[in-house]
Chains A and B, each alone.
Chain A
Amino acid sequence: MKKLLQISLGIVTSVGGFIETGQIATSAQAGAAYGFSLLWAIAIGTVCLIFLIEMSGRFAIASHHTVADGMRERFGSNYFLLTLLIVSIVNLLVLASEIGGVTLALQFVSGVDYQWWALPVAFIVWLLLWKGTFGMIEDGVAILGLVALCFVVGVFVMDPPWLEVAKGLVPTLPDKQPLHYGFIAVSILGAVIAPFLFLFYSSGAIEEKWDKSFFGANRVISTLGMSFGAVIAAAILIVAALAYPPRGITDIEGYDQIAPILTPALGKWGFYLFAASLGITCLGAALEASLGQAYLVAQGFGWNWSEDAKPRTNPAFSLVYTGFIAVAFMPIAIGVDPLQLTIFSMAITALALPFGVVPFLFLMNDRNYVGDHGNGWISNTAVLVIIGLSFIVALITIPLQIFGG
């Protein structure tokens, strides 16, 4: 019974980490520009994410190490420092984007420009971590985050042509703008496979002392939780595909165009539901990204880390997220466009993935760590192919997207 509760909580929590500004922005852009035809990117990204999340849980159960511990131990301090640098940059971009998402949600309901919200939002994120117990924050945000189910409701209200939707699950090449199409595809992959999710998941497994009896639960939580999140991401794409092209919008240039995404389906309420979904999910992701960064640093250097570490008992840990938030709110405060920042961050994430994922695959095949619970060839191949392809496409399209306008 207790395990059942843990499983359902795990599933709800994964939704909290899954849907955030990255998903909302990339799915909305994809739907507006290419209809249903990029749904496959969400599906493939989710398959890869399920494999990776399941692995990080299995790694924690079998080896009693978090992923960061394992990386440091197996590959030495120098490689760890390089990975730390890369993941920190990605996390920083992601956190800045999430703060941007919350500020936009506040702009939509208050009318006050998003820039002015950057400092208050950063302060609230910090205060929740500084004062709150993390278990409470996590469950609270996860449950409130269920408001994002409004996108699924929106899909059913608009009743899409289901056959066309199903066709979108098959990868196809576009008939126009192949570079932009590729760029959006890798941004979706980057948004789905966010690095802080693993840091978080394996830390949770260690902290909750998952033993060998949890291999099954781990499989269920990772599969159902991530699929649940993917359904919402797909719903955003479908709603966008139904809402924008009929109005002649195919290129989304700012979040103010995304804000009315639900109004064709849900009317005036759609606007507020969108703002609530954006604000709550981004707040949750901002908390997870900040804490994920503190976990990574603490685990890599062997400090005490805990969800409920109080600043006084663990100053270094608290100061990592404090400094991290203090840097991350700046881009939004000086007026960087949140949508551009988000899309760019997600593409960079896709580019950075191999640096963390490839060594992680080595760990997952090392009997010294996982014993008999190593990877099979299917998961190894699937993850390598998806990560490798998205890396190549990101490498080609990011420079072209930046310099080609």
Chain B
Amino acid sequence: MLLIRDVLDKQMVDKEQNRIGKADGIVLYLSDGNAPEVAFIEMGSLTLSRRLGRRPHRWMLWIRRAAGAEGAAEIFRVPWAKVRDVGVDIEVDVDRRVTPLGRCQEWLEQHVINRIPGGQS
């Protein structure tokens, strides 16, 4: 498996094949004398903006704080042990409601969709 080709930027799905976001970043674990190990897959806008550059990253932090997001500077990480399969998609054993996408969807539903007439149906 090649990390950049086969993991980074791939579609992530949960056990029910719901799309839960992309593999936005990879975290390696380095220790003396051992080969580097894949520790986590990172997901979310913070990781994405950091890949774009320092300034976009700061903007994203600012936006998240301004929106009053809980744990605004917290990066969502999926431990590699939770990865069940890497194929066309990466299947992971994660509750989709706790992913950045899941939380964002919930926030949007409560704060935006429910205020638009007909949004509930």
**Chain A interface (Cβ < 8 Å from any Cβ of B):** 63-65, 69, 72-73, 76-78, 80-81, 130-131, 300-305, 310-312, 314-316, 318-319, 368
Distance (whole angstroms) from the CB of A75 to the closest CB of chain B: 8
Q: Within the complex, what minimum Cβ distance (angstroms) separates B92 from chain A?
A: 12
A41 vs B113: C-alpha distance when bound (angstroms): 45
What distance in Å separates the Cβ of A191 from its nearest Cβ neighbour in chain B? 32
Q: Please tell me if the beta carbons of A303 and B19 are within 8 angstroms of each other in the complex.
A: yes
Q: How far is the CA of A300 from the CA of B21 in the complex (A)?
A: 9
Stretch from B61-69, B76-84, B103-111 forming part of the interface with A:
B103-111
Residues of A within 8 Å of B54, CB to CB, are: none
Q: Distance (Å) between the CB of B99 and the closest chain A CB?
A: 10
* Residues of B bordering A, CB below 8 Å: 5, 8-12, 18-22, 24, 48, 51-52, 88, 101, 104-105, 108-109, 112-113, 116, 118-121
Q: Is the CB of B9 within 8 A of A301?
A: no
7 A-B pairs in the complex with CB atoms less than 8 angstroms apart: A73-B9, A73-B11, A301-B21, A302-B21, A312-B121, A315-B108, A319-B113
- On whether the beta carbons of B52 and A312 are closer than 8 Å, the reply is no
Known: A301-B22, A312-B113. A368 touches B88 (CB 8 A): no
- Contact call B113/A318, Cβ cutoff below 8 A: yes
Q: Flag if A76 contacts B9 (CB, 8 Å).
A: yes
Question: Which of chain A's residues have a CB closer than 8 A to the CB of B120?
Answer: 312
Beyond A315-B109, A318-B113, whether A77 also contacts B51 by CB under 8 A is: yes
Pair B113/A302 contact, Cβ less than 8 Å: no
Is A130 within 8 A of B118, CB to CB?
yes
Bound-complex Cα distance A316 to B101 (A): 9
Chain A residues contacting B12 (CB-CB under 8 Å) are: 302
**B9 touching A77, Cβ below 8 Å:** yes
Q: Are B101 and A72 in contact (CB under 8 A)?
A: no
Q: Separation in Å of the A306 CB from the closest CB of chain B?
A: 10
Contacts of B88 in A (CB 8 A): 63-65
Contact between A310 and B108, CB atoms less than 8 A apart:
no
The reply to whether A77 and B108 form a contact with Cβ atoms under 8 Å apart is no
> Could you tell me the distance between the alpha carbons of A304 and B20 in the complex, rounded to whole angstroms?
7
Contact status B51-A73, CB under 8 Å? no
* Residues of the A chain whose Cβ atoms lie less than 8 Å from the Cβ of B11: 69, 73, 302
Query: Which of B9, B20, B51, B119 is within 8 Å of A312, CB to CB?
Result: B119
Query: Which of chain A's residues has its CB closest to B116's CB?
Result: A311
Q: Is the CB of A315 within 8 A of B105?
A: yes
Which residue from A302, A312, A319 sits with its C-beta under 8 Å from B101? Answer: A302
| 9 nearest A-B pairs in the assembled complex, by CB-CB distance | A315-B108, A302-B22, A302-B21, A315-B113, A64-B88, A304-B19, A315-B109, A73-B9, A311-B119
Q: Are B112 and A319 in contact (CB under 8 A)?
A: yes
B101 shortest CB reach to chain A, Å: 6
- The distance in angstroms between the C-alpha atoms of A302 and B47, with both chains bound, is 14
Q: How far is it, in angstroms, between the C-alpha of A316 and the C-alpha of B20 when the chains are bound?
A: 12
Nearest Cβ on chain A to B9's Cβ, whole angstroms: 5
Q: A73-B10, A77-B48, A368-B5 are in contact. Are A316 and B105 (CB under 8 A)?
A: yes
Q: Which residues of B contact A312 (CB under 8 A)?
A: 109, 113, 119-121
A314 to B19, CA, bound (A): 11
Residues of the A chain whose Cβ atoms lie less than 8 Å from the Cβ of B116:
311
In the complex, what residues of B have CB within 8 A of residue A130's CB?
118
Residue pair B21, A303 in contact (C-beta under 8 Å): yes
- How many Å lie between the Cα of A80 and that of B51 in the bound state? 12
Complex Cα spacing A31 to B18, Å: 50
Chain A proximity of B95: nearest CB distance (Å): 15
User: Are A131 and B19 touching (Cβ within 8 A)?
Assistant: no
Once the chains bind, are B109 and A319 in contact (CB under 8 Å)? no
CA distance A319 to B11 in the complex (A): 21
Query: Closest chain A residue to B7 by CB distance?
Result: A73
Closest Cβ of chain A to B22, distance in Å, is 4
Residue on B nearest A368 in the bound complex, by CB:
B5
B14 nearest CB across to chain A (Å): 11
> Considering only CB atoms, which chain A residue lies closest to B106 in the complex?
A315
Using CB atoms, name the residue of chain A closest to B47: A77
- Closest A residue to B119 by beta carbon equals A311
Given A77-B9, A302-B21, A303-B21, also A316-B118 (CB < 8 A): no
- Closest chain B CB from A76 CB (angstroms): 6
Q: A72 and B22 in contact (CB under 8 A), knowing A77-B51, A312-B120? A: yes
- Who on chain B is nearest to A298 by CB? B19
Q: Is the CB of B21 within 8 A of A304?
A: no
List residues of chain B with CB within 8 A of the CB of A304.
Answer: 18-19
